[in-house]
Every structure is written in structure tokens, then in C-alpha cells.
Chain A
Amino acid sequence: MKIALALLLVFLCSPALYAGGEPAPAPREAVSPRPAEGQPGTSGNGVFALELASGGRELRIGPNTLDMVLRDRAGKGVEGARLSVTPWMPSMGHGVWEKPLVQERGGGNYHVENVIIIMGGLWELKVAARKGASEDRGVFSFTVAEPVLPEPEPPREGYQRSLAAYQIPNVSLINQDGKAVQLSTLVDSGKPVIVDFIFTTCTTVCPILSAGFTNLRRELGEHPEQVQLISISIDPENDRPEQLKRYRERFQGGAGWEFLTGSRDDVGLVLKSFDAFVVDKMSHEPLYLLRAPNGAQWVRIKGLIKKSDLLSEYRKLAN
């Protein structure tokens, strides 16, 4: 659907580009070196033209996805090209560790994921495109807004509560039974959702978080699966499905409580999207993220909380 929209917008906008009509909303063009006069949309050597589809107007701190269209001089989409995208911050002279991933979508469309931007300021995306012997480069500039810290509510009885919006990345993780699970499907199931972050060899914090879930499920009586509980491992290398299954049994888990792991990259992406990433697992903080069914905002609770508090927060969600 998104690709169709991007294509449609590109299609709608390109007459504007080439016919000199209304420029807005125009797709972003590669700008450096400056495109030659009268040749809008060319870049670098002028071999290819690179455009960002409308979905890529902004870069934010954290993970981003973009769609690009690569065209040859005749305006036809170039398929089978190798694209590389490198984020770069000119004023600071550094890039980022994570490599953006490019997937070809056909018709000259390329979908770029895992563009992780780590701070606010002026950023460039340097794109290199190669097909056969033809090679070209281009640069897109972005101004990334500084992070806006969410307004915390006044702390209540030892825990911090705030509201936040998170973008769930399009990844597939693995649950305790070894099955692939689409995270967005789990989260958008129409049930209230609570997410926490654990690792199975954790000694102190995670057992308390998980015991909270155990008690919540017990309170819900006959149908504990009416709330979707998700525990994501912050030690995916060690927490393979068998470990998660054993941990889940320790805490009397069952239907409605999924434990997720996966590749280090996928799990890292998810953790960053939820602002729960830590470099060293031993210094992780207790966190519950709660969301009403199909809600827009998440309640972020930092700190270990009592059963009565968790229950009252849950009841607010369910209503």
C-alpha cells in the first residue's frame, strides 16, 4: 500500500517536475553536486536520477525508513541496481554504526530501512548507486529535530509515569515456542497491551517485573489472555526460545503472555524504538509500557511497582 502511494505521488509529482508546474508537494531530489540547470532530478554524474518518495520527507531520532526511486536519463525506473545509503553528520564528522538495509521493490523503487539517527542537527544521507558499469552518487540533506522529552507526570509512590508515542518497526521476532511473530500484529490485536524487557539470567529486576505479570493474570481470573503481555529479551544471544519457555513456566505464563527474542539486529531495533536500549544488560531499568486497545499513546512506567498500582493502571487502559 505504501509503495503504491509512493509511486502514485511520484507519478503525480513528476509531471510537475518536468513540466515546470506546481512544485509542492515535490519529491526531494538529490542535491550535491548542484543539479545542472534545466535538468531537475539528476544527480552527481547525471547518469541516474534519485528521488525520495513522499514517505521520506523527514528523519527523526531513532530508526527511520525511506523509499527512493532510481531512474535513468530517460526517466525509466532502474531495476537491479546496488544502492548503498550512508548517514553522515557533516558538522560532527561522524556517521552511525548501523548499516541501512536496502530492499529492491521493483520498477526502480528501493525501500531503505534501519536508518538510525542518533542525534538532532544537520544530517546527510549519501547514496551510491551502481548498475553494471554505471555508477552515480547523490546526497540528501535533512534537519533532524532535537528530541522533545515527554512531560513526566509527578512521581507517584516511587514510580515515574509518562506518556510517549512509539513507532513499532516492521520486524518479525521469535517467541518462546520458536514461532515467528510479527510484533506489530501482536501489539495491534485489539486488546490492551503491556510490554516489559527482561533477560532470563536477570537476578533482581526481571523477576519482580514478571511476578507483576503473574499476579495481574491471576487477578483476571478465568481469562488472563484478555490482556496481551509481551516480554522482550534484552539478551537475545543467550535467551533462545528454550530459555524463554523455562522462564515463562517459572512465572506461570500461558496464552496471552508472549516472550520474544530474535536476531541481535532485530531486537536492537525494537528496543531502540521503545527507547529501552541499554548497552550493558546488567544496568537495565525496570520498565512497563502500557497501551489501550489500538491506542495512539503508551504509558511509560519506570520503576518497580506494586500489584495494586499495576492493576489500577491496567484498569485505566481497559476503559
Chain B
Amino acid sequence: MINPELQAQARTQERVQRSVRGPGLPLLRTLYFFLALYLPGPAVQAGEAGVAALSQAEQIRLGERFYREGILPSGKPVQAVVKGDLAVGGRMFPCANCHRRSGLGSVEGGIITPANTGSKLFQPSYFGRELTPAERGALPEYYRTPARRPAYSEQTLAKAIRSGVDATGRVLDSAMPRYRLSDGEMAMLISYLQVLSAEPSPGVSETTLRFATVVTPEVPPRDRTAMLATLEALVADWNRQAPAHAERAKYPEFAQEADLSFRSISLARWVLEGPPASWRGQLEAYYRKEPVFALLGGISAADWKPIHDFSEEQRIPCLFPLTDFPVVSGSDWYTLYLSKGLYQEGEAAAGSLSRAREVTAQDTVVQVYRDTPQGRALAAGFEATWRSLGRKPPLSRILSAAGPIPADLIRQLSGKEMPPVLLLWLGNEAGSILERISEGEVRPKEVYLSASLLGSALGTLPEPVREFTSFTYPYRLSQDETMHPDYAKVWLRDRNLPVDERRISSRMYSLMLLLNQAIPKMKRNFYRDNLLDQVDLATLHGYPDFELLSFGPGERYASKACQVVTLSRGPNPILIKKSD
């Protein structure tokens, strides 16, 4: 199934190609075309002859696969040499690793990787700021910076990729691999580079970057207001910078990248209605009416999957949506979540239990949860991690979504049938079970609950219960907050925004910190993939709420761990990190 975007790219590529094609290759191509008529071969996995005979769209698709994964049309990994004599195979050094998915390059470990998109390769590259040819021409002579290299042609580019000699005849750094590509494979790659980040993404104009935020119908009005109000305050702050940047941009000799690239932000509200199955259609209708560059925040108390799938398939970034049910995937690209939500609490329980000294490999683990999205997420996170640690799969006791706790369960949990490890993924109704356990004679070795599900009931658990219970808690503990100045609270208070215990406004504050770093680093390369590439390079100063946030290439769940805590004694208990 060909993506309409790729078809548009194919048309662009034809246009660009006509301006840069040199002699030589077309003749070879014609020969290959005739050969292809006589040689067999599947259309997708193609041998040399097959590559040249493929449609532009198919070449671009294979070129993208090569660029991102290092796999040739034949299905084999490409061979390359790096550092002069280190032989490497395709999966180790796909182009996208260093040049990034957007093709805009990166800086890491002291190695600078320049851009390798066709639109940049086939133009000269200058030192200093990225200016359009018109801007550069308008600069007084004194302010013009020299060119680093002239434009590549298809031949000189092929030479650079195969032998590491650039358009000036200099040798490229040995960190750039020298790839062994046939003519057909090289042409396929160059076809792809010519469409890679060739046109700015939708939702960008000379003055404005258009974003949208998604709100689903079941979210309580108070939560919806908290998110929207904070997002709009963030947008207002950002837009207040516009006059200063515009003023400096009037002087092209002195204007910085940040001035030239500054765009105001507009934020549309995409309010969804009805059942989740209808959301995808509504999202597409909103998008058709007014395309956006990316989605910011968003909030849902139900499934986020329809929106995640929309982002993934339309390749639209979505940054820090507020949901307890992120889609947990090892390979999806376009949605960046603050954490894996309740799934992550299940993961943390498994990690903590695996380190508990009295819990042996033979001990049975029983998970009790209701058949609701919350229960399922916690149980799934626990089970996946528990199994990956090589442990016996846990037993599950699934209760219906509503209704009282069955009597037989309560019986089981207070007698000899008590399991050694009990996970109670329940809300405040867990309190009655816990009291029965504390009154009984048999105690489990470990009992875990989720602080998120318990909510305010956590602080009121009776003292005898606190002796044997542990809780998964996704945030930084309040006693650790003293080490981290609370800039978020100050910022919110100054704008009369509530600091809510659901942490909605503070998580949108984190989004603001992220945008402040990532958007300026795009410069004027307004490509959606570039936004995500710059997000990956963000640093972590001053983020509230989470203990262990980090970003990195391809990392899509910023919070890397969740705490396991116990409850202290006394009328105003605090949470204490559980020691291993």
C-alpha cells in the first residue's frame, strides 16, 4: 500500500532529479530496464536489474528502508568499512543512526554529522548560519561566510558514499562508513535522499507553527480545563517573544538563527466526541480542515490507542499526551509519552519483587485485578517484566469491572490458601481485603498495590496494614523534592494556574521545557522528523514530577523508572523508598 505522502514525494523527486542528473547513469539504467524484461525477480526484493526497473515510489520505499535499516533491496545487509579498516554490516551503521531520521544530522560524542538530505547536498554548504540564497546574496560582502564545499552532483555524491571523498576532494572523517553499493542501489538511495525532508511539513507558514491538542469526551471538565489552561499559558508565553525576535530579524547581518527561525504558535483544540471507534475519523476530519505540524499534550481517561495510531500512520509527532494507557511498543516512533502509565507501575512491581530476598523462584504470585483498562494495564506490565526475568508466570484472579468483591476470594486471602506474593491492583476497596489479611494468621511475604489506583485512600490505610504492604508510585517523593527547586509551582502560581494533585498542569509545564529546547534547535528546518530528532537531544534540567526522566535517540517513554515505596507510621504518613 503506497502512502499518498510517498507519491507526492515521488513527484517532487522527479522535479529535483531533472535539475541534477548528470550523464552516464541513464544509459546504464536503460540497459537494466531491458534486461529486467527478460530476467525474473520479485518486485519488492529486487536484484540489481530489478531495482532500476522499479517505479519511483517503490525505489523511494526501498531507499527509506535502506536509509533506516541498512538493508539492500535484495534483503541482505549492506557491507561497509568504518574507521579505515573495520568491516561492518548494514544493521550496525544505517544512515539514519548518525544522520537521523530527518536527515538533518547530529552532534554526539564529539562527532559532528552534517545533513544529508538531497536539498542540502545539492546546494553549497556554508560556514555560519543557515541562510537562503536570497538572504546570503543580500548580505554585504564583509558579512558573507565562505562555503565549506560546493554542491554535490550525483557522481560526486556516489564517490563520497563509496570512497569517502567529498565534493572538494577532501577525505571525510573515518567515522563515516564507506558503503559498497552497486549503481542501482546507489541510484535508489539518492532517489530517497532527494525526497527526504525536501518540503517543509504541513502546518508551517512564514509566521506561524500550527499545533493542535486532542481532548476526549470522558475526561472530567476540571481536568480538561487544567490541561487547556496550562497549554494556552505556555503558548502565550512563547508568542510574547515574537516582537523581540522580529526586531532583530530586521538586521540580517546580525540576526541569530533563533531570530530568523522564530515562529509564533497557534493551538487548535481537537475535541472528540462519541465512542473511541469514531475518534479516528474525527481526527482525520480535523486534520483535513486544517493540517497541523504536531500535536501537543492532549488528554484522555480512556484508551489513547486511536490517537496513537493516527499519529503513527500520518507521521505526526505527539508530545507528552496525558494518559494512563500509553501504547507500549518497542518500535513506534511518533508519540513521546512521559511514562508508560499504569503499565510502568506493573513493571516496577516486578523489578522490585525480583530483588526481594525472601521471595524465591518457586513462590507463586497472584494478581488480583478488575477487568478494566486500569487493572489490565497494571497486570500486563507486571506479567511482561516478570516473564522477561525468567520467573514463573503469575496467576491471575480477574474480577468483573463492577460489583462487590467475591466472598470466595476474601476467604482465600485469609486462610491457608494465602499466596506468598499478592498483587492487589485495586482502588480503595482493597482496604477491606488488607484488613482481613492483617487480622488473619497467615500473611503473604509481599503485598503490592498501586498508589495511583488507591489515590487518597493510600494515606488512610490503617497502621497494621502498613507493615506488610508496598506501593508502586510513579513520581519523585516529596522529601526528595527539596533538592530540586520547584520552578514549576512558581511558574504556575504566577499565571493563576492550579497546582492539582493529578499533576496535569505540572506535566504540561514539562512540555513547555521540552518545546523551549527542541523548537529553536530545528532552526528553519521545519520537518516533523526533525522536531523529534531535536527532542531526542534534549537535556533534563528542571523537570518536575518524575525521578528518572531521560531522552535519547528513539526513546519514546521519558520516565525510565517508577518507585516502590512503603507507608510510614503515624497520622500523617509519608512515603518511604522500599529498601531492597
Contacts and interface: CB of A to CB of B under 8 A. Distances in A.
Contacts of B86: 208, 211-212, 214-215, 306-307
Given A280-B539, A285-B109, A307-B83, A204 B97 contact: yes
B485 interface: no
A204 B98 contact: yes
Interface residues of A, number: 36
Interface string B559-580: 0110000000000000000000
Interface stretch (A181-189, A235-243, A290-298): A235-243
B552 A235 contact: yes
Nearest to B549: A237
A284 B100 CA distance: 18
B83 A204 contact: no
B90 to A, nearest CB: 10
Interface in A171-206: 178, 199, 201-205
A178 B386 CA distance: 11
A210 interface: yes
A202 B175 CA distance: 14
A264 interface: yes
Contact of A304 (B83, B89, B91): B83
A305 interface: yes
Contact of B92 (A178, A241, A250, A264): A250
Contact of B388 (A207, A241, A306): A241
Nearest to B391: A178
A250 B94 CA distance: 11
A281 B113 CA distance: 17
Contacts of B93: 207, 211
A208 B91 CA distance: 12
Interface in B253-270: none
Given A238-B550, A305-B83, A211 B88 contact: yes
A303 to B, nearest CB: 9
Contacts of B113: 203-204
Given A208-B82, A237-B560, A199 B552 contact: yes
B87 interface: yes
A123 B248 CA distance: 51
Contact of A210 (B92, B108, B539): B92
Given A211-B88, A212-B86, A307-B85, A203 B98 contact: yes
B83 A208 contact: yes
A238 B85 contact: no
B548 interface: yes
B554 interface: yes
A57 B407 CA distance: 63
B106 interface: yes
B189 to A, nearest CB: 19
Nearest to A283: B109
Interface string B111-134: 101000000000000000000000
A286 interface: yes
A170 interface: no
A238 B552 contact: yes
B476 to A, nearest CB: 14
Contact of A286 (B100, B109, B536): B109
Contacts of B560: 237-238
B88 A214 contact: yes
Contacts of B87: 215, 218
Contacts of A306: 83-86, 174
A83 to B, nearest CB: 15
B353 to A, nearest CB: 14
Nearest to A206: B109
Nearest to A246: B330
B514 to A, nearest CB: 15
Interface string B525-562: 00000000000110100000000101011110000110
Contacts of B108: 202-205, 282
Contact of B550 (A202, A212, A237, A307): A237
A247 B108 CA distance: 18
B389 interface: yes
A208 B113 CA distance: 14
Interface of B: 82-89, 91-93, 97-98, 100, 106, 108-111, 113, 174-175, 388-390, 536-537, 539, 548, 550, 552-555, 560-561
21 contacts: A178-B389, A201-B536, A203-B98, A203-B106, A203-B113, A205-B111, A207-B88, A207-B97, A208-B175, A210-B92, A214-B86, A215-B85, A235-B552, A251-B92, A281-B550, A281-B552, A282-B537, A284-B109, A304-B174, A307-B83, A307-B86
Closest 6 CB pairs of A and B: A237-B560, A205-B109, A201-B552, A201-B553, A307-B85, A204-B108
Interface of A: 178, 199, 201-205, 207-208, 210-212, 214-215, 218, 235, 237-238, 241-242, 250-252, 264, 280-286, 304-308
Given A203-B553, A207-B92, A210-B92, 18 more contacts: A202-B108, A203-B97, A203-B106, A204-B98, A205-B109, A208-B82, A211-B86, A211-B88, A212-B86, A237-B561, A238-B560, A250-B92, A282-B537, A284-B109, A304-B83, A304-B175, A306-B84, A307-B84
